[in-house]
Structure 1
Amino acid sequence: MLKRIPSPIRWLAAGGIGIYGAYFIDDTTEAKLCQRNFRTFYNGIALAVDYKLHGSDVKTLPALHERVANRIFNVFEKNGGLYIKMGQMIAAQSAILPSAYQRRSKTLLDSAPAVPLSSVERVFMEDFGCRPEDIFIDFAPSPVASASIAQVHKAVLPSGQVVAVKVQKPAVQKQMGWDLYALRALLHLYEYLFELPLTFSAAYIEQHIRKEVDFENEARNGQQAWDNLAQQPQLKDKVYIPKIYPEYSTKRVLVCEWVDGVQLTDVEKISALGLDYKEAMRTSIEAFASQIFLSGFVHGDPHAGNVLVTHQPRNKRKVQVVLVDHGLYVQESERFRIQYCKLWQSLFMLDLKTMTEICTEWGIHDVDMFASITLQKPFVASKAVHLQQTSVQDIYDFQKGVKDRLKHFLEDQQQFPRELIFLLRNMEIVRGNNKSVGSPVNRLSIMAQYAVQGIDDCHGDDVRNERYWLSHQLRTTWRKLVFNFTLLLLSLSFWLMKVRQNTNKLLFGTTVQGFEDLVDQRMKEQMHLQYGIQIDEHLFDA
């Protein structure tokens, strides 16, 4: 009977049965590797083809952005796990993405479905050889929060200390290798199709993602971050990192002190505590500025959910900012840290020579473009920072050569400091936090002041050994005067904007854009065209 069936049909039938069998088996597993990888590659290739076919037609660009944004974020949500992390990285940049991405990214929730208590108990049995109730005198069976790779349960240690127990979801370790392979493969594909530098950072990002799912590494990060903060007297009592209990922690379980706090951007709840949300925002920016410019050990995911606000233990009327979730950190080299401090100082002094020297050493061939990315506001070398505006002619000039500028931007990829990948992510998230509550704090001024402090700290006694000490002192004094004058002008611009905001609110009951909103608007005009994040009509032409 089977011999009468044509061979191609038999092969198709066998293939169909095999595929269905593989799908059935994969569907019964916790990791669902086959489904997730098929979904990733299918949609990745589909959106690449979509951009290739329709990316040059300006009339269809809005619809194209809508389709691609929905496709990408649907994959993130359905695959879950590390894909949620990838989606959050994109969502953190949503302010400078096309509007379709901004709308769609808002639906990517910080939370994720929790795994049942039986899965949590399985992790404990594999890591400790016992159940949670054998370790804690009380362990809440339902999690208080569930994120992409872990969930948090409230518990009590035998000592009576209330703790947060972060438990990794069992499927994450099985999915990680395949997820990272899929990400790398897609980056190679897009680099080939669009002729843009994308893969140079893949290995560095993968290395840090692997560290992020190692909770023993997170415990070390938290301790080091606390040690660094302890060396900053200006942040004493203002910033806190919960105590970690390494004796109760493994690579998949992390136990730390429980802290009751309110999210940084929840203005109503912060005010209900009798605290000043503006002071909370300022303190959070100072904390991350100290990491970037002073210690060089930088939190890679400082979104509002990881920055809590509470009372200072010694003064209930004062704000204390609590930093949590220390899985993703980047360690700057000392040479890079000093160069980055000098870069910031030179940006405010229009010291194009220093800026060019640093950018050249980093393999960056477009100083204005990189300055815009660093400040997160438009930068033109001929204008002071506080006077930067975007004209119609600027936009037209950028638009003509966006793809060539992108390809030229990183011609020497091996020289590019990988620290910048997560550093710029940190600064974009911090900027977004400030913007979301009406820009109450002059973020750029705080960052710049910490950058100069980072330069002063690195000189130390070397200045005394210089042959022309007086000449050096005069040059340094002059540079500080110029720098402080620029900061003064920037501060005046900021406060004039605040006066305008408050006046309109009091007299007319209307809300005027804040400082970060205006910066953001100008960034959209330039960065979409400079950096290629919003796609120009000829960006993906072959």
Structure 2
Amino acid sequence: MIRSRPFSSLSIRRPHQLKGQIRFNSTNTSTTTEIPKSSRSRSAKWARRSLVTGVVVGGLWTYDNQFNASAVYRSLITAYIGLVCTIDYKINFSPSNADQIEALHERVAGRLKWAIDTNQGLYLKLGQALGLQAALLPRPYREAFGHVFDRAPAVSYEEVIGVFQKDLSLNPLDVFETFSKQPLASASIAQVHKATLKPRLGGEGEKGKVVAVKVQKPAIEKQMEWDLFSYRSLMWMCERLFDMPMYFVAKYVSDQMRLETSFKNEANNARRCAELVAQTPELKDDVYVPRIFGEAEGCKESDRIMVMEWVDGCRLNDRQQLEKWGLNLRETMDLAISTMSAMTFSWGFIHCDPHPGNILVRPHPTKKGKPQLVLIDHGLYISLPREFREDYCTLWRSLFVLDVPKIETIARKWGIALDANMFASAILLRPFQVNKNKKNAEKNKIPEKNQYEQQVELKERMKKMLENEQLIPRELIFLTRCQRMMQANNQLLGSPSSRVNLTARWASIGYTNSLTGSRSLNSVGISRWLKDRLDAFVFRFTLSIVDIAFWFTLQKQRFLPKEKGGWEDKLQKQFEAMAKEEFGIEIDDTVFLG
């Protein structure tokens, strides 16, 4: 018989008496679990901190995403990729992993490519800047950076309207009679729309004139400084961790990038280029710079919006269209090379992005059967200091008169420690022997090494070559790029032009114009006068020899269909072989063929 206790006799504990104690009863078994006060307190604190941290991080991410064009997030991606790549190299770049070096490069190059593709925008431009050195990097990097010259995704028409409203307090149709909602071209920092002017714009007789409207992508303004900071940080980190001179170009490249995002700066560059073309008799009628519409024509100017004359033409490397128009390929390419050479050696004001999409060709409006070049996209220009331009002119001319002491003097002045033959070849982008004292072939023969040993040796050679980085003219970065792009343009048309000779002739013009004072016999004396005449003879003779070799190559192309590759292709192969043999560098800069 079970007896129940009266309710009043049960022991009831109040809540405060149960604090810190939980009791479970089951028949005759009693278990007690106690939670210490300090543990509960710590758990609560961690929970509150986690909640606050989550709210703060979520708020910052939302702000960065919605109002800052994800600039901070993009920088964190860069920092993460940089850290992972650094750790990977530090662990796996070693003699014991010599057979895995190629796989290491592929992993790192893949991560860098992913970062560029993910971030887009200015990272495509920075990728192009890194691509300037891609020719000297292992194969996976050349492949990774090859895509940065391709078309970039466009932004929506609503975002274009936002740029107009913020910069001009207007909509596109308040300014133009018509305005294409879809861009006709899109690049890394801007896109181009086709429009027609309203009657009140452009002056009398301009009603309905077709124009190109270049609009900067809205995110660029917010992302630029963060992106440039990330780029400089990566260059600094690479120099510190890997002991390679890389950071010395970072500030110069950053400054050029800032200028390239200013459309007022681009408009000024275009106007100045047009003036210089008009002052150059050899180019005056054959090169055209589209008109920029600014305040004088009733168009408001902005750093993110630019209006220019619309000009139809084909890309410089569109061989099929050029032949359809009946334009001579050699005349077309000679004109393009002469234009870039005049900029370099005569003007000292250079369009530094001469890829085929920025040099258009059309049938000449007044000269039947002749080509006319149309220069567009004037965002990236450099100005050469007078002393550097004179040295550069002198260097080119010295290469053809075989003035070895002068070549070596300029190399030392620029802080570059290179064999004279290799330095000359790097400037000309073709094999060139200025020093005939060759060592015995057996002494020059380099024993076969594994990938680790090869790349360690290359690093040491690069450090030696750039032994005094403060003296290296930063302008050489873009000049070399321009030369390589023009060589690539020539290759894509089948090498119809003798690029080196044509460039050298313009260098000689620049050299002559840079001379101060009279060079007559009475002024300089018999010795200097005779030396000038001898140099002039050697210069013309050397160019003639190269012209003859070039002519024979053209004939072989014409009469021997199986003969593959043009003049520039042969020069490039010889240059690549020379670079590998004498300097241990494998060059393959097909990223410029586009």
Q: Return the TM-score normalized by structure 2.
A: 0.81
- Tell me the equivalent position of 1:539: none
The 8 Å contact of residues 215 and 252 in structure 1, kept in 2 or not, is answered as yes
Alignment partner, residue 341 of structure 2: 289
Q: Distance in 1 between matches of 2:132 and 2:550?
A: 24
Where do 1:73-84 residues align within 5 Å? 73-84=113-124
What is the CA-CA distance between 1:500 and the residue it aligns to? 3.0
Q: Which moved further from structure 2: 58-67 or 76-85? A: 58-67
**Aligned 8 A contact 1:395 1:525 in 2:** no
1:396 equivalent in structure 2: 446
Structure 2, unmatched stretches of 5+, are 1-38, 199-205, 449-453, 588-594
CA contact (8 A) 1:96 1:524 kept: no
Determine which of 27, 34, 43 is the counterpart of 2:72: 34
2:414 aligned with 1:362: yes
Residue 250 of structure 1 corresponds to which residue in structure 2? 302
- Residue pair 2:521, 2:529 contacting (<8 A) in 1 also: no
Say which is worse superposed, 373-382 or 149-158, in terms of deviation: 373-382
The CA distance in 2 between the partners of 1:2 and 1:169, in whole Å, is 53
For each residue in 1:329-350, what CA deviation from the matched residue of structure 2 results, as whole angstroms up to 9, or x when unmatched? 1100111111100011112222
Deviation larger for 458-467 or 355-364: 458-467
Could you say which structure has the greater relative contact order, defined with CA pairs below 8 angstroms and 6 or more residues apart?
1
Cα drift, residue 280 of structure 1: 1.6
RMSD: 2.9
Provide, for residues 234-290 of structure 1, a one-character-per-residue CA deviation record: whole Å limited to 9, x for no partner: 112221111111222311111111110101111112212222233222211110011
Q: Which residue of the other structure, out of 156, 160, 163, is the alignment partner of 1:120?
A: 160
Write the distance in 1 (CA, Å) between the matches of 2:284 and 2:62. Answer: 57
Match of 1:335 among 387, 390, 393: 387
Q: Distance in 2 between matches of 1:124 and 1:267?
A: 38
Are 1:71 and 2:111 matched, yes or no?
A: yes
The partner residue of 1:134 within 167, 174, 185 is: 174
Secondary structure in 2 matching 1:488 = helix
- Which amino acid in the other structure matches residue 198 of structure 1? M
Do 2:72 and 2:226's aligned partners in 1 also have CA atoms closer than 8 Å? no
CA 192–17 in structure 1, closer or farther in 2 if over 3 Å, else same: same
**Pair 1:393–1:149, CA change in 2 (3 A):** farther
Q: How many residues align?
A: 526
Deviates more, 1:204-213 or 1:9-18: 9-18
Question: Could you say which residue in structure 1 is the equivalent of 2:356?
Answer: 304
What is the one-letter code of the residue matched to 1:407? K
Tell me the distance in 2 between the aligned counterparts of 1:339 and 1:138. Answer: 50
Structure 1's unaligned 5+ residue stretches are: 536-542
Match of 1:494 in 2: 550
How far 1:96 sits from its partner (Å)?
Answer: 5.3
- Please say which of residues 106-115 and 119-128 is displaced more in the overlay: 106-115
Does residue 426 in structure 1 map to residue 472 in structure 2?
no
> Does 2:504 match 1:448?
yes
Matches within 5 A, 1:141-290: 141-158=181-198, 159-160=206-207, 161-247=209-295, 248=299, 249-290=301-342
Name the CA shift for 1:511/1:101 in 2 (closer, same or farther; >3 Å): farther
Residue 492 of structure 1: how far off its partner (Å): 2.7
1:45 aligns to 2:83 (yes or no): yes
Segment drifting more, 253-262 vs 272-281: 272-281
SS at structure 2 position matched to 1:308: strand
1:512 matches 2:560: no
Is it true that 1:377 corresponds to 2:417 in the alignment? Answer: no
Q: Do structure 1's residue 348 and structure 2's residue 348 form an aligned pair? A: no
Distance of 1:246 and 1:349 partners within structure 2:
48
Q: What secondary structure sits across from 1:235 in the alignment?
A: coil
- SS state at 1:467 partner: helix
Change in Cα spacing, 1:383 to 1:267, as seen in structure 2 (3 Å) is farther
Label 1:466 to 1:413 Cα distance change in 2 as closer, same or farther (>3 A): farther
Q: Is the 8 A contact 1:212 1:328 kept in 2?
A: yes
SS, match of residue 322 in structure 1: strand
Q: 2:559 and 2:44 mapped to 1: Cα distance?
A: 82
What TM-score do the two structures reach when normalised by structure 1? 0.89
Q: Distance in 1 between matches of 2:432 and 2:365?
A: 43
Is the CA contact (8 Å cut-off) linking 1:96 and 1:528 kept in structure 2? no
In 2, Cα distance between the equivalents of 1:347 and 1:440? 23
Cα distance in 1 for residues equivalent to 2:563 and 2:233: 46
Query: Do the aligned partners of residues 33 and 393 (structure 1) sit closer, same or farther apart at CA in structure 2, a change above 3 Å counting?
Result: farther
CA distance in 1, matches of 2:365, 2:164: 34
Match of 1:151, SS? strand
Q: Deviations over 1:51-83 (max 9, x none)?
A: 344445543233233223322222112111111
Cα distance in 1 for residues equivalent to 2:570 and 2:510: 28
Letter paired with 2:228: L
Could you tell me whether the CA contact under 8 Å between 1:96 and 1:523 is conserved in 2? no
Q: Distance in 1 between matches of 2:114 and 2:351?
A: 28
The 2-side partners of 1:318 and 1:456 are apart by 30
- CA deviations 1:112-148 (Å, max 9, x no partner) are 2211112111211222221111111221121111111
